[in-house]
Amino acid sequence: MLILLTDLLLTVNETLTAGNAIIAVSLLLFNLTRNLNNRVAKSSAIVLACVTAAYISDAFIALGPDIAEHEIASRLQWLGIAFIPAAIYHLSDALLATTGLPSRGRRRRVIRLLYLVGAAFLLSAAFSDSLVQFVTAQPTLSIQAGWAFGIYLVYFVLANAFAFYNVQRARKRCRTRATARRMGFLQIAFLTPALGIFPYSVVLNPGDEFSVFGLLVINTANIIIIFMLFFLSYPLYFFGSDIPDRLVKKQLLDFLLRGPATGLIALAVINFTAQATRILGLYSDDFTPPAVVGAVLLWQWFVSLAQPYYEKFFIYRDEDDAQITKLQTLSDRVLTHSDLTQLILATTESICDHLRIDRAYVIGFERSKPEIICQVGDVASVNDDLVHDASLLQQISDAPDDANALPYIRWREYALFPLRSRRASDVSTQALTIGVLGLLGQENILAEDTPDPGGRLQSLVGRLETSLDDMRLQAEIYNLLEGLLPQFQMTRTRAEQVEYRHLVALAPNADLLPDRSELFEQVRAALRHYWGGTGISQSNLLNLNIVRHRMQSEDDTPVNALRNQLADAIDELKPQGERSLISPEWLLYNILQLRFLENRRVREVARRLSMSEADLYRKQRVAIEAVTDMILKQERELRR
């Protein structure tokens, strides 16, 4: 029984060790795809590189190589172990610098010294036995401490202690609740990489690391390290990121579930099926490949099913959920111009098959100019003739619209069917915009009394009308995106506009007052992210004179100055007298106070103010407009 338990723990240890290597490599690759111009991103990449080097060597050792290769891998493992204290301190310095306290030279010199000391320990471990010694312990090697290991221990403890102290200083300097919370999360797991790859086996007797007790301790530590690495990656990728928090969370979750989690599942299936002699009447070597494929497919299927739920729980909340759902389904609902053209062509071909004719075409009226969208058969010169036939175009435009009939116009050898828009243009009255989008032309074989036997043609014509209507609507969407995308690109490339920055980094103010509509969108975003987020930390409102003046007079950070400015603007809307939740005079102030300053949910605010959520959204817009006008007024007075 003891032998079976030991073998099981060895298998678990091999799986967890390789799992740590997979996670470290995955997080390193994910980090390398991000903004490496940022100090936090660069220093965290060094930390992950040290962890990767240590665990890859450890995973190779777990495979049971020969004694010589085992010793080489153990010495190479110190590539990560020797430099991890310096890398951890380097990361703590970068985090402290993000809070507005860059190194004046002393911390920079300490970092260089720590890397030099780490290089000395690496050379010592690689080419001598002064740091670690190798002794034979059946069935493999064990590592024992050399005379210089005590020096390394002092280096390890001091570097990590001062690094932890730097993160504590950075957390105390955070001025917003969101950044302080993330820095606190980061501080909890900050020393995990260093503690995870520390060579604990040097304090054990030779061979004890392969005992039941030793394996239980090592496996428990490996499990904790796996969770701590995931936990560490969550707050770390927010610092230095120039994309919204929502996108950071989504990218990280998708990457972890699709990448490292899939690798861990495949690895576990391989390791545990390989230990069996026969499974379901099959040899383990024959059973393992389909088992791995099945496990990976089932996991991907589960992730696909669970994705809407975990995204809603971890990423999208409150009223943002409906907006994000619409954005996520936009690519599925919107067709390209080519897709719609193919659909119209397929419908036209169906009409030809239904009526047993050889020629048909669809013409669209874009800005009153006819243009052939698709054609079946030879319809040469049709478009040019229609362009020059003003009376025919007027006749098509004036053709009656009968939902129960299918009127058409005879023109040459063709029957022309006007294709009309059925889009609702007035939501309140549900009035229809009855406009001609184009026409369907086909060989005229229809009888005067029954132009559409069976009603099949009317159904196909209705499909053409819907397709043309969608083509025009989606053209409007594309035009709108073309106007918005340059603004998104401009916003996302302003990576220097982070939450903590020096006064000299602020862009100079323009002489002209900001546009009211643009200012409204910026104020709304800042209020929605009042307690933390890119809506306030990267807002153009930071460049207003009133915000800069407040920064200088109060010696405050840009974000905190903007937050106080918004609070003062809301306070200006506060009526005289005792506050009331039911008085109309207090409505706008109550909405702003409850929704943004107290950060309450829509449903709760609507209940407290005795109004519907739809009415709350309408009144909330009016309230934000009032704040916008107040800020615009204050900015105008300061510039005089």
Give the integer Cα–Cα distance in Å for 34 and 42.
10
pLDDT score of 322: 60
- 317 in a structural domain: no
The reply to whether 304 and 352 lie within a common domain is no
Question: 0.85 exceeded by the pTM?
Answer: no
Nearest 5°: the CA angle 526, 532, 537 is: 60
The backbone torsions φ and ψ at residue 11, rounded to the nearest 5 degrees and listed phi first, read -65, -45
Looking at the 3D structure of the chain, how many domains does it have? 4
Contacts of the segment 169-175: beta carbons below 8 A, 24+ positions apart:
169/96, 169/101, 170/92, 170/95, 170/96, 170/98, 170/99, 170/101, 173/96, 173/99, 173/100, 173/101, 174/99, 175/500, 175/556, 175/557, 175/559, 175/560
pLDDT score of 488: 44
Element at 366 (helix H, strand E)? strand 360-366
The reply to whether 301 and 343 lie within a common domain is no
Evaluate whether 617 touches 609 at the Cβ level (below 8 Å). no
Listed in sequence order, the residues at least 6 apart from 613 whose beta carbon sits closer than 8 Å to its beta carbon are: 602, 603, 606
- 331 in a structural domain: no
Domain containing residue 281: 244-308
Write the burial class of residue 507 (CB in 10 Å: 0-12 exposed, 13-18 middle, 19+ buried): exposed
The reply to whether 236 and 248 lie within a common domain is no
- 485 in a structural domain: no
Structure tokens at 306: 């669970």
Structure tokens at 633: 């007024």
Element at 143 (helix H, strand E)? strand 140-145
Instruction: Identify the domain boundary among 226, 242, 258.
Output: 242
The reply to whether 347 and 298 lie within a common domain is no
* Amino acid at site 14: E
- 277 in a structural domain: yes
Interhelix angle 260-274/284-314, rounded to 10 degrees, is 150
The reply to whether 91 and 158 lie within a common domain is yes
The reply to whether 212 and 144 lie within a common domain is yes
Structure tokens at 15: 């799986």
The reply to whether 236 and 292 lie within a common domain is no
Of 582, 584, 583, 569, nearest to 608 by C-alpha is 582
pLDDT score of 452: 57
pLDDT score of 353: 84
Distance of CA 431 to CAs 422, 425, 426, 434, 465, Å? 10, 6, 6, 9, 17
Q: Reduced to 3 states, what is the DSSP secondary structure of residue 43?
A: helix
Give the integer Cα–Cα distance in Å for 543 and 97.
22
Instruction: Identify the domain boundary among 420, 454, 474.
Output: 474
Evaluate whether 437 touches 364 at the Cβ level (below 8 Å). yes
Alpha helices in 493-557 (DSSP H): 516-528, 534-537, 545-554
- 314 in a structural domain: no
pLDDT score of 87: 92
Share of the chain above pLDDT 90, in %: 8
Question: Can you count the helices (H) and strands (E) in the chain?
Answer: 25, 11
Residue 41 sits in a domain of what CATH number?
A: 1.20.1070.10
Give the integer Cα–Cα distance in Å for 606 and 194.
50
* Amino acid at site 257: L
The reply to whether 257 and 267 lie within a common domain is yes
The reply to whether 277 and 348 lie within a common domain is no
The reply to whether 234 and 250 lie within a common domain is no
* Amino acid at site 512: L
- 467 in a structural domain: yes
Listed in sequence order, the residues at least 6 apart from 118 whose beta carbon sits closer than 8 Å to its beta carbon are: 82, 83, 85, 86, 155
Give the integer Cα–Cα distance in Å for 435 and 352.
25
Give the integer Cα–Cα distance in Å for 613 and 156.
57
Of 184, 186, 286, 283, nearest to 230 by C-alpha is 186
Alpha helices in 128-243 (DSSP H): 149-173, 177-188, 192-196, 212-236
pLDDT score of 502: 37
How many C-beta neighbours within 10 Å does residue 426 have?
9
Place of tokens 């797991």: 189
pLDDT score of 497: 42
* Amino acid at site 19: G
Report the sign of the C-alpha dihedral through residues 93, 95, 96, 101, in that order: positive
Q: Identify the segments of the chain with pLDDT beneath 50.
A: 319, 425-434, 449, 482-510
- 209 in a structural domain: yes
> Half-sphere exposure (CA, 13 Å, Cβ side) for 433?
12
| DSSP conformation class of 557 | -
191 has which bridge partners? none
pLDDT score of 36: 67
> Half-sphere exposure (CA, 13 Å, Cβ side) for 546?
21
Evaluate whether 201 touches 143 at the Cβ level (below 8 Å). yes
The reply to whether 230 and 248 lie within a common domain is no
Give the integer Cα–Cα distance in Å for 374 and 345.
6
* Amino acid at site 204: L
Listed in sequence order, the residues at least 6 apart from 544 whose beta carbon sits closer than 8 Å to its beta carbon are: 509, 514, 565, 631, 635
The reply to whether 86 and 159 lie within a common domain is yes
Of 62, 20, 14, nearest to 271 by C-alpha is 14
Report the sign of the C-alpha dihedral through residues 36, 38, 39, 41, in that order: negative
Listed in sequence order, the residues at least 6 apart from 345 whose beta carbon sits closer than 8 Å to its beta carbon are: 374, 376
* Amino acid at site 177: R
Evaluate whether 539 touches 519 at the Cβ level (below 8 Å). no
End-to-end CA distance of the chain: 87
Evaluate whether 545 touches 639 at the Cβ level (below 8 Å). yes
Give the integer Cα–Cα distance in Å for 229 and 24.
8
Give the integer Cα–Cα distance in Å for 269 and 289.
9
Give the integer Cα–Cα distance in Å for 515 and 519.
6
pLDDT score of 501: 40
Evaluate whether 601 touches 609 at the Cβ level (below 8 Å). no
Residue 413 sits in a domain of what CATH number?
A: 3.30.450.40
- 135 in a structural domain: yes
pLDDT score of 154: 93
